[in-house]
Each structure stands twice: as structure tokens, then as C-alpha cells.
Amino acid sequence: MRIIFRHPKPKDLGAVHKVAQEYYQGFEISKEVLTGWIKDLPKQFIIIEIKGEIVGCIFWEYLNEIKAIPYFHKVKNFNQSKGKYAYISEIVIADKYKNKGIMWLLYGAMGISLKKECQGIIWVTGEPRLTHRFPHVEAEQTILKIDGFKLVKRAKNWEYAPENYVSDHNIYFKKI
């Protein structure tokens, strides 16, 4: 199996959007947000391709504070090019590859790509007791546990979509 890691191109938008929609079981990240992430910070967006098919991606930003930022956002509103912490804004895997270690590969590729001044990684994901019905939460929790992330606090009233808020997600942090 030939695996390719690369930065996205504008033509990848449809495939990335499709994988993200599948990963989140129909929940749809807007193409406008994805376009902004790809256009504004392509070096912080990694795609994984297998047999010519995009099967996952990871996108991170840099912040100077450990906090949750809205899921749908424009990079210019939150990102700093030299923040102390990498914030995982998006990590998705196609269903047919979800149990094949692809998420670990993407997470590792991000780790290799982090800026030297980065002091830690922030990851916001669902509280397992409250969001257990979503397979992506289980996959993300596995990495958090194995790689030593610590629960910082509950992300109260986290904006997961414009004008839609939940309190069933947590902020996790790992010092590097």
C-alpha cells in the first residue's frame, strides 16, 4: 500500500469535504471554511492519500493560550503564526481506513511538522460519556490516552457550528 502525505491543493476541496462529512456522520463543515484553511495555511494542513484517493487530513493552528476556539472559523480570527501551542482544528479519516492506524500517521506527520517553538498540543473532542455514539470520539480518545494528553477542562458553550453551542466537549493538552 503506497501512502502519500502532502499539502492540499484547491482542487482537493471536494474530496476533503467528503471525507470530513463521512467522518462526522453527515455533520458538514462548510466548504468556505475548508477553502480558507487550505488557502491561508497550506503548510499546516496535511492530506493522506492511498492509491490516489484522499482518505484523511489534519489541520492545525497556533495559539498562545490553551482554549477552545469555534469549530467553524476564519484563520485570521484566531491563528498566530508563532503561537506557543498547536491547536488541532481538524483531523478526519475515511471510514474504510478508520481502524488501520491512519489517524496515528496523520497525528505523527503533524508532530514532525510543528514549529520548534511549539510547547504543546491542544485537542478539543467529545466527552466520551456524552458523545459515545460517535465513532470519531472513540478514535480520538484512543490517541489522547495513549499519547499522554491531560484533560484541562470542559469546553462550555463551545461553538461547533455558527450560532450552535454544546457543552459535551473537553479541552485536552499535551506538553511537548
CATH label of the domain that carries residue 111: 3.40.630.30
Confidence (pLDDT) at 29:
73
The alpha carbon of 31 is separated from its chain's Cα centroid by a whole number of angstroms, namely 15
Span 89-146, pLDDT tens digits: 888 888 888 777 888 888 899 888 998 889 999 999 877 665 556 666 777 888 889 8
Judge contact between 61 and 79, C-beta under 8 A. Answer: yes
- Which region among 9-13, 82-86, 114-118, 158-162 has the lowest average model confidence (pLDDT)? 158-162
Q: What confidence tier does 80 reach under pLDDT thresholds 50, 70, 90?
A: low
Domain count within the chain: 1
Domain, as residue range, for 139: 3-175
Distance, in Å, from the CA atom of 91 to the CA atom of 18, rounded to the nearest integer, reads 13
Burial, 174: exposed, middle or buried (Cβ in 10 Å; 0-12, 13-18, 19+)?
A: middle
Residue 5 has pLDDT above 90, yes or no: yes
Q: Which residues, 6 or more positions from 155, have their beta carbon under 8 angstroms from its beta carbon?
A: 68, 124, 167, 169, 170, 171
The Cα 140–Cα 21 span in angstroms is 16
Are the C-beta atoms of residues 153 and 95 closer than 8 Å to each other?
no
Q: Is the Cα dihedral 138, 140, 143, 145 positive or negative?
A: negative
- Grid cell in block for residue 156: 462550555
Specify the 3-state DSSP secondary structure of 121: strand
pLDDT greater than 90 at residue 76: no
170 φ/ψ angles, rounded to the nearest 5 degrees:
-120, 155
pLDDT in tens, 29-70: 778 888 888 888 888 999 999 999 999 999 898 999 999 887
